[in-house]
Amino acid sequence: MRCCFSAHLPALAALSAFPGPCEVLRSGARLAPALLRTASAAMQRARSAHPDDLTAVNLELVTLTEDTAVITWYTGIPGTDDGLGHPLPAITEGEVVYGTHPSRLNRVASEDRPTAHHQVELTDLEPGQTYYYQARSRGVAATPTPLHLVRGNAVGTSTFGFGPGGGPYSFTTPQPPPGRLLLSVALCNDLHLGETTAGLVGGLPLPRGISQQPGRAPYPELMSRALVEEARRRGADLLLAGGDISAGGGAHDLREARRILDGFGTHGRDYFVVRGNHDRSRDTGAFRTAFAGGVGGVGGVGGDGLEYFAHDLGGLRIIGLDTYVKTGNGADAGGLGAEQLAWFRARLREAPDQPTLVFGHHPLTVRDSVFPVTRGHCLERRQARAIVDAYAAAPGVFLHHAGHTHRNKRTVLTRAPHVTQQEVAAAKEYPGGFTLLRIHSGGYALNHYKSGDLAARQWSERSRRVAAGLWPHHALGRSVTDRNSVTSHDLSGVTVSRGVNRT
């Protein structure tokens, strides 16, 4: 199936969805250093063929909270190739040494078993403290995913340690959100149940897509189940799935998605879903049938609020939007339709100060993409402007969660600076996971987590080869704050207690 980053593109629609010359040039300028670095690394791998050699690469600081950090990397056998330009796995131990001074890395965190897909969590960190760390396997220091070559940083909150020696690198933990913790919400999107090849661009022959290895579980199912398990393990009280639940709107795929999400809890109470452009098919009732039962609250389409809805959870208003209520093939801009837009604006006017979280598939705006941006990447411009104007008059709105772009990106809306737009990377492929929203009485934190299941980590590493290996430059988040942030906001009107939806 085609990936929704480029959407479904029949031959004629493909022409209208292509980026303009300026976007192509801008993208090329951003990606040129990364291409050169990739070519250089490939040449170095080709020169190294000793059987005892080890390469430790793709180091990433994925998650950074006030007291924890999750660090991942990969170990491979130099001079080998899995057919995708990636070294074959080298199963070995992994550890992270760290401390508060670069010359005194006196603390160690290790894994519980050898693997090639390393994931180490540092715990009991101090808020507001700068730490220095080095990840290593068999004495070899791991080197980072080179996002810094496209104005990004995969391994820290400063450029300390960048160079040929493999660190140590540096990060500073944030302060926790003000006030007491009220509840945690897992934000996810782009599960794409039914997809068989990741990274196909509009059905065109190039670039090459990535498929699952023979004999392994279909990757959308594997990643979705791992997401549900990880979200529960991380203490999520609620889960919001922001569209493209399926790859093509097929009834079977939507039913399978429902079965997987039911592993988190009860639809309409413990988790909520909205449609994306991929979930619309000729069988217009497939989505409604799969997620029958409604969500309660005030909604549209038949009065049960399935396609778009407002739900009150102990003072927290959750608004789900259907961002592709239109006739189209998915390549064009998203659209709510006049009826839904009027409904949405009326809901905000009713209670402008109520703490409100909005989620839908298409982002309102797409900024700073390393790949060319087309009109199909976000909501139709006039509707997006109308929504932002509504946010400007509703100080209770604090977060707009979107998917569709398959990347982690935090954007503060200039017209409504109290609202954060958080794009969350696709659940189905690299980096593979979800963003945990922790709501406190005086603010909130957003933290991205990769799914920790080993099979999910294997597919995540394999699928990082999407877009000829340039996918991390787009999907991970070019800075730690694109995937981990803390924001102050008065949320004292939320009275729900943690565990309200967990049984």
Per-residue tens of pLDDT for the chain, all 503 residues: 445 544 433 333 443 455 656 555 555 555 555 555 555 555 544 444 455 689 999 999 999 999 999 999 999 999 999 888 889 999 999 999 999 999 999 999 999 999 999 999 999 999 999 999 999 999 999 999 988 666 789 999 999 998 877 889 999 999 999 999 999 999 999 999 999 999 886 545 556 789 999 999 999 999 999 999 999 999 999 999 999 999 999 999 999 999 999 999 999 999 999 999 999 877 768 999 999 865 554 455 433 456 899 999 999 999 999 999 987 778 889 999 999 999 999 999 999 999 999 999 999 999 988 888 888 899 999 999 999 999 999 999 999 999 999 999 999 999 999 999 999 999 999 999 999 999 999 999 999 999 989 999 999 999 999 988 899 999 999 999 999 999 999 999 999 876 655 44
Task: Please tell me whether residue 313 adopts helix, strand or coil conformation.
Answer: strand
Q: Give the pLDDT score at 202.
A: 56
3-state secondary structure of 147: helix
Cβ atoms of 313 and 496 within 8 Å: the answer is yes
Query: C-alpha 152: how far from its chain's center?
Result: 16
Chain centroid, CA 387 distance in Å: 23
End-to-end alpha carbon distance in the chain: 36
Question: If you ran DSSP here, which 8-state letter would residue 283 be given?
Answer: -
pLDDT value of residue 154: 95
CB 299 within 8 A of CB 305: yes
Rounded Cα–Cα distance for residues 152 and 365 (Å): 20
For strands 433-440 and 443-450, give the pairing: antiparallel
Residue 315, phi-psi category: left (phi > 0), alpha (psi -120 to 50), beta (remainder): left
**For residue 350, what is the enclosing H or E element?**
helix 338-350
- Give dist(CA 79, CA 221) in Å, integer: 32
Question: What secondary structure, in 3-state letters, does 41-109 show?
Answer: HHHHHHHCCCCCCCEEEEEEEEEECCCCEEEEEEEECCCCCCCCCCCCECCECCEEEEECECCECCEEE
The CA dihedral of 350, 356, 361, 367, to the nearest 10 degrees, is: 110
Return the pLDDT at 16: 43
Whether 409 and 5 have beta carbons less than 8 Å apart is answered as: no
**229: Cβ contacts below 8 Å, ≥ 6 apart:** 263, 451, 453
Strands (E), 180-270: 181-188, 197-198, 210-211, 238-242
pTM of the model: 0.89
